Amino acid sequence: MRTIHEPARELEVEVEADVIVAGGGPAGVGAALAAAREGARTVLFERFGMLGGMWTAALVNPLFQQQNGWLVAELVQRLEAAGGWQKQDWFWTFNPEVLKGVLEETLAEAGVDFRYFTWCAAPVMDEHRVTGVITESKAGRRAALASIVIDATGDGDVAAGAGAEVAFGRSSDGLVQPATLMFQLDGVEGNHHPRDLYPALQEALAALGSDWQLPFGQVNYAPWIIAVPNHPAVVQATHIYEYNPLDPKSLTGAMVEGRRQARKLSRAFQAIPGWEQARLVNTASALGIRESRRVRGLYSLCLEDLQRGATFPDAVASCSFCVDIHAPDGNSANTPHHAPIKPYEIPYRCLVPKGVDGLLVCGRCISGTHEAHASYRVTGTCMAMGQAVGLAAANAVQQTIAPREVDGVWLRRALGERGYTFLAG
């Protein structure tokens, strides 16, 4: 491979804080809110011009695992008060535009200094300790320093840059779950279950004389038309297989393919009798990424932990969501999709990377196997992990200790005192 040499240069230190949060998705907003509420000077960097990550930029809905409490419960209350929350069948959906405003107001009230259009490009390191991040933005390359950095990028960007051990994809072939480009569909009632729609779509394609194959099997909860309060329905249907979420060329191809599938699907929806008014309004501005790097921590959660309903003295979040694996190669026959599990807990050790200090991770990039990840990746659980590491980081700053020295048993109790309810046990 051809390379060039980039000369070293002095960088302006634009920020000095107690806690830096990289990424403002469900995990990152939970982390920043908790850290700031606990008194830490907190800065959050987000590459997009909005908070919410997959919730807003990728139009992902519903909000699963919202029931556990503290900041997740508060978010739900605020959404409800703003008219952006609605109970459906057995789940709840939210208006993504309302959520953008609620998140900005809530973080601003808590004193979080959040900065959009800023990439965390690399960690600042002092040997094995992360002491900040190097940012890239329209203002150029700058440095931000903090006692503790929280990697909530979903992709484990900061952790990987710091040399943390990472896993990627399923163990058999390294493939990650497919991406989905969500889209808005007008002119339909919404809330249609995939089991009814799958055959209807196939008949519609046949009626159109199309030999295009639907990009999913019936097992994968697609196509799912999800009713959203005061907003067009959002559709979970496109599937892009065998792409690389860490490669911009591959991501570009996936986005183009996602839009192509959205157009084809919308035409098929229109061809279902009674659905002539169905209209593609908009594709999401970000690709829906289910799975990327998983940062190896002091503990790694596995499918057996979920199946036995594992509990841990240092638990920081719990989850009862199914193992929702969309087959990485499109062949559902070989995946433990919807394997039965019991409500289980996630220990703090999954959020503390092995071999790197000054760093915590939260959200879909924590330490676990491909199978376990397929359950705990849902947004309510990701935000719960975020609030836990935010609390842990603030505690570490107060005590001048490393994140790995935070007492996990204390953390569990402290979360309970703030209203978090553990489901397992």
Ligand X SMILES: Cc1cc2nc3c(=O)[nH]c(=O)nc-3n(C[C@H](O)[C@H](O)[C@H](O)COP(=O)(O)OP(=O)(O)OC[C@H]3O[C@@H](n4cnc5c(N)ncnc54)[C@H](O)[C@@H]3O)c2cc1C
Q: For binding to ligand X (CB under 6 A), which residues are involved? A: 22-28, 45-48, 53-54, 60-64, 119-120, 152-155, 157, 180, 182, 236, 288-290, 363-364, 377-380, 382
In whole angstroms, what is the distance from residue 390 CA to residue 316 CA?
11
Q: Nearer Cβ to ligand X, position 232 or 288?
A: 288
CB of 66 to ligand X, least distance (A): 8
Least distance CB 131 / ligand X (angstroms): 17
Distance of alpha carbon 123 from alpha carbon 358, whole angstroms: 11
* Closer of 132 and 271 to ligand X (Cβ): 132
CB 388 to ligand X: min, Å: 13
Q: Report the alpha-carbon distance of residue 33 to residue 45 in Å, rounded.
A: 13
The distance of closest approach from Cβ of residue 273 to ligand X in the complex, given in angstroms and rounded to an integer, is 28
What minimum distance in Å lies between the beta carbon of 165 and ligand X? 19
Give the nearest distance from C-beta 179 to ligand X in angstroms: 7
> Which of 152/424 has CB closer to ligand X?
152
Considering beta carbons, is residue 17 or 271 the nearer one to ligand X? 17
Report, in Å, the least distance between residue 55 CB and ligand X.
Answer: 6
**C-beta of 103 vs 278, nearer to ligand X:** 103
Smallest distance, ligand X to C-beta of residue 235, A: 10
In whole angstroms, how close is the CB of 260 to ligand X at the nearest point?
A: 16
**Which letter, b or e, does each residue of 366-377 get, where b requires 16 or more Cβ atoms within 10 Å of its Cβ?**
bbbbbbbbbbbb
Is 306 in contact with 323 (CB distance < 8 Å)? yes
62 vs 353 by CB, closer to ligand X: 62
Residue whose entry in the numeric block shows the structure tokens 């535009």? 97
Q: Which is nearer to ligand X, 48 or 420 (CB)?
A: 48
Q: Which is nearer to ligand X, 182 or 201 (CB)?
A: 182
d(CA 228, CA 124): 41
| Minimum CB distance to ligand X smaller for 156 or for 271 | 156
Whether the CB-CB separation of 59 and 284 falls below 8 Å is answered with yes
Residue 92: strand pairing partners: 87
CB neighbours of residue 308 within 10 Å: 12
Of 271 and 352, nearer to ligand X (C-beta) is 352
**Smallest separation (angstroms) from ligand X to the CB of 72:** 11
